[in-house]
Chain A
Amino acid sequence: MRYDAQPFEILENTRIADGIFDMRVKNDVIAPLAVCGQFAHVYVPSKTLRRPISICDKQDGVLRLVYQVKGEGTRLMSQMKKGDSVDILAPLGNGFKIEQGKRYCFIGGGIGVPPMLYAAKQTENPLVITGFRTSSLIILQDDFKNIGAELVLTTDDGSAGRHGFVTDVLKEKLGEFDEVCACGPTPMLKAVAALCAENNKPCQVSLEERMACGIGACLVCAVKIKRDGRELTLHVCKDGPVFNAEEVVF
């Protein structure tokens, strides 16, 4: 795998929900290499570390990065302007493995929803379950509708869509798909993984961990993985971010 960091032109960087921004960046050389579930490592001037952001969508040399302002780095990202250049190391990591002929259920929780869009676009008739804490944080509903997905919205507080968790919906729909791909907070992923295991549904989960290099050299983004009867310490950036849920030690 060749790695490269290159300047991307910012085509758009707009707020789409409370504290959530939609950035579109263009680079004709490395953007087209991205597959669903991979991430972009964004350089933020003055910061020591890049920000790993999941790839929400890709089209014609443009990557779409939907991110939440969580700290100083993402706050600075949100202030970047259309026409500016941003240095991005991408695409990184291993994405979702999508097989033709299967019906997939994509589950996103909060800021784990964005990578589900590009993944869902790779499949026929996807079922998409999105969950948010509250209505002000809802994103990407029109995008999922536009690709023809069967879409379910839940909120933890009942302020929009169905009152409850994505797992409540997943339980009811277990007979309607072959495999699950999920991204979101760890408790959600753990619950989704457990449900899938109980019901013999294959499940891929995209994990998050604090990162530095993004390529597997510095070893900070550790994750415990059970494989061939042994517990291994692997790394989200290089071995993931997508893992087989059965192997993850939550």
Chain B
Amino acid sequence: MSRRREGAAYIRRGGVGVALAAVGVLALAACGSSGGSSSSTSGLGSSTNSASPAAAGSSAAPGSATSGSIVWSASPLSGTGANDARTVLINAFEKQYPNIHVSLVSASSDTDTNRATLATTISGGSSTPDVFMGDVIWPAQFGAHQLAVPLSDYLPASYWSKFAPGLVQGATYQGKVYGSPLFEDQGFLYYRKDLLAAAHMSVPTTWQQLETDAVTLVHDGKVKDGFVWEGDAYEGLTCDFMEYLTDAGGTPTNSSFTTATLNSPASVKAITFMRSLITSGASPAAVSTFQEPQAMAVFADGNAAFLRNWDYAYDASITASSGGKLTASQVGVAPLPTFAGQPYPGYSNIGGWNLYINPHSKDIAADLTFIQWMSGTTAQDILSEKYGFISTVTAVRSDPAVIGSNPNFAVVPKTKLVPRPAGTPNYPALSTAIYQNLNGALAGSASPASAASAMQSAASTALSSTSNGGL
């Protein structure tokens, strides 16, 4: 066979491949959309949106649509059945906008599965879900891959000024805001008031004091485990690490997220301390396999004196239906400690969720109405007063009625916040570089110094290219 014929054969095979690919994309697009035959064109990148940025500027004001239908993807928040927070929010929205119908798609409560589903659905061209709830660490990745609408193209600058400081910055990638903050979350220190009082201990303000107190309480047989936190190889460990690292004066990357700075004395100090929590007996060895539910269960069962967890942990500790065996008088909440010699309090990592819009959505005008309503007083009051989520809106946060509804809210203004280095689309690989190596050190299979060096090397690989997937 001549070279030319080979080439022709290759092209023909390529043609079949492309045809197959087109069929596949069409099939995916058809599968992904809930309602329509017209979705097939969007799979090939020629989607038409009902409200383009230009149109939004020239015609009706964004968010003024009063009719339409929206598919909202959100993972479970709190409550079940008629008390499900998502259902309660939808009902309240539909009461105010009777001609906009919202249907809920319950997304996976596993954040990575949720992200994978959304990324493949949206890149397949599906027009649904129109609006999706996504993690605060997604804007760069979703923005870089055009999996979310740049909301700042539609919403005026004044819209963003109502949010608490730092949240809009966290939702921004390359100058555009991709997510509308829905609720905030952050690390807290939960402690057993009764145990500390009986041992004449004050609430620890330094990590060293917390370690000593935890060891003493365990040693004296007052409690089974001292301090429980999230040490498994997963995203939550990166959150915990950010707190120790920042307290030690370190940073994971430079400010433009292009160079890793993880092989630093501060990093080694943070890793050494986290490992020492296990070797000293302040934390059980099993903490290196704990995610939030395991840490939560140990504390809520009354088997730990201290817990680092997110805002839901207070209610979960004292609510019998959530497995809590403690009472309100036993559980205290405080800002996280810091290392000795640093100003109290320590840093709390920022978590929480935003609302994003699918670029293929057929009704962006209605989507905008929905997300604007969700950052309004009615929705934010429901989220914070009824369900205990920290509002993203400054006015709601400072409302005395809201502050009085949950002891966490009084602590929030006292905390110092640090975000994860999520300003790069390579954040998932960067985070994996951190938690994989740190988890190895917690398990004792690497020294803190070699873990810091391995972290640095893997993080540098992750940041070096947009397409290597951390390999």
State yes or no: do A and B come from one complex.
no
A residues neighboring B (CB under 8 Å): none
B residues neighboring A (CB under 8 Å): none
